Amino acid sequence: MLWHAHASELWDRFVIDVRRRLASSAGLVQSRFAQHARLSFARIAEYQKRAAVHVHAVVRLDGPDGPTDTPPAWATDDRLTRAVQASARRATVRTAYSPAVGELVSRWGAQIDVRALQAGDDASGDDAVAAYVAKYVTKGASETGAGADHALTAWADIDAASVTTHVRTLMRTCWRLGGLPEYQHLRLRAWAHTLGYRGHILTKSRAYSTTYAALRAERARHVGQEAMSAALTERHWRYVGSGHTPGAALIAAGIAEDIAQCRAAAEDAFRAGGDAV
């Protein structure tokens, strides 16, 4: 549970260390790295069968302006691979000290597999990346049986959750740890349904590819074109008229007559000494 709670911070430290190593290996000052290259990534968090988060990531080295900019000559696959491997072994996050648990160190496991992807003229490399990302994004919690799809607000919600005995035990552990004052900042009870993991299933750097806002705008534009394709457009506007149509005028006149009759009946009842209607 504490590993899940610190996984996002551990990733941030890993990315920072990769940039430092790349700058050092290229003979650059770290503060000037962004002027020569840009490190972009897409990260997918997958729950394994034992309900532990396993990270898959695509890491790319671009020019300073992003994917459309040619990377510098020193930005080779071998240099990036060595930086990723070294940073994955080096990055650590220490948990707050707890009398019940002690101080723990979160780090990446020994199963680190780094592979280089090359995009050919037929964009086969791009297709491979898209298939890789889609494979693990679509593997949701329902497949591994990890976590629930809604937040838990009480201890009784854990007993009612439709999860395995193993996952239920992890949820209870997360809830108990969340009650310790030294772990209050982790908000473990609020994230007990995801077993303490506070990140998204898919996270990417800003310049890795397009943004969700751009995709939504393009989808809206496409839907708008589809809806208007069969519509007629009138280019010349002219005054047609104002007020009710003949049918609406007839209905309005009937309503006005009914209101007048009700008012007259109320006045008659009032004069006769009865109660007003």
Closest Cα partner for 15 from 181, 205, 168, 185? 205
- Check: CB of residue 141 under 8 Å from CB of residue 147: yes
Q: What three-state secondary structure class fits 265?
A: helix
Mean pLDDT by 10 residues, the chain (277 residues): 92 94 92 91 86 89 88 91 94 93 91 76 62 69 65 90 90 94 93 89 80 82 68 71 83 90 88 63
Per-residue model confidence (pLDDT) at position 216: 85
Q: What is the reported pLDDT for 145?
A: 56
Q: In whole angstroms, what separates CA 32 from the centre of its chain?
A: 30
Give the whole-angstrom CA distance, residue 176 versus residue 185.
14
Q: Any idea where the domains of the chain sit in the sequence?
A: 2-225, 243-277
pLDDT at 271: 85
Cα-flanking dihedrals φ and ψ of residue 126, to 5°?
-65, -40
User: What's the rounded Cα separation, in Å, for the pair 79 and 87?
Assistant: 12
User: For the whole model, what pTM was predicted?
Assistant: 0.70
